[in-house]
Amino acid sequence: MTSPSLLDLREQVWRANLGLVRAGLVTLSFGNASGVDRRAGVLVIKPSGVPYDTLRPEHLVVVSLEDGRVVEGDLAPSSDTPTHLLLYQRFPDIGGVVHTHSTAATAWAQAHRSIPALGTTHADHFHGAVPVTRELAETEVTGAYERETGAVIVETLARLGLSAVEMPAALVASHGPFTWGHDAEEAVVNATALETVAEMARQTLALNPAVESMPSYLAEKHYRRKHGPDAYYGQKRR
């Protein structure tokens, strides 16, 4: 795969940010998408505090993947940039990151509950329950808060033995969801899927509080037909 030029990446990340709004995932101004060019050693992210309706590709900020320095752009990057940066540093296979405060997924994060796999919509996107992190300690919040937010996501997946590819989402306790993917566009798709399955799970548990996770053979079937080496769902990628 060839890396898109920085111009293409700006355009792609700009579209991803607008895609979050279009998908109804942005509450107030809480929401940001980024994308990475690993060959160039940079990530491109939404600037801080610029309204979505006036956002243009040239407003996006280019940040060094190594140390978080702004290498291109006149505006300050999103305050969540250190979280995105840490995820790119620790998950080498991902190319896009999204953070929102979408209502249903945030409700699970606030309830300190992972989202159980209850049906095939979930299994199509996430390999098992979508995990929730532990609460950040006071020293982590008063210290490098945004970077610690990324670190607790990495810690959570490691503790559960999950790769970032099989689990492209996590709920940060008392905060909200982060998702990622091969690129910014896929991270938006995963944020949309996450919000959908979060709402479906909430309604399912309201109807039947005793419901159990779906059978693993059904979950595996759905995950593998979209993501496994023998995936056959959708059109063949050329």
Catalytic site residue from 93, 183, 223, 233: 233
Instruction: Yes or no: say if 177 and 194 are a contact pair by the CB < 8 Å rule.
Output: yes
Catalytic site residue from 88, 124, 217, 230: 124
- Strand (E) or helix (H) holding 211: none
Task: Answer yes or no: 232 catalytic.
Answer: no
- Please calculate the CA angle 171-194-96 and round it to the nearest 5 degrees: 80
Name the H helices within the chain. Answer: 6-22, 81-90, 103-110, 120-125, 138-142, 145-159, 184-207, 216-227
Task: Answer yes or no: 124 catalytic.
Answer: yes
Nearest to 174, CA basis, from 84, 113, 117, 122: 113
Instruction: Yes or no: say if 124 and 223 are a contact pair by the CB < 8 Å rule.
Output: yes
Q: Is 44 helix (H, G, I), strand (E, B) or coil?
A: strand
Strands 70-72 and 61-64: what pairing?
antiparallel
Q: Is 153 exposed, middle or buried (0-12, 13-18, 19+ CB in 10 A)?
A: buried
Strands 169-172 and 176-181: what pairing?
antiparallel
Catalytic residues: 124, 233
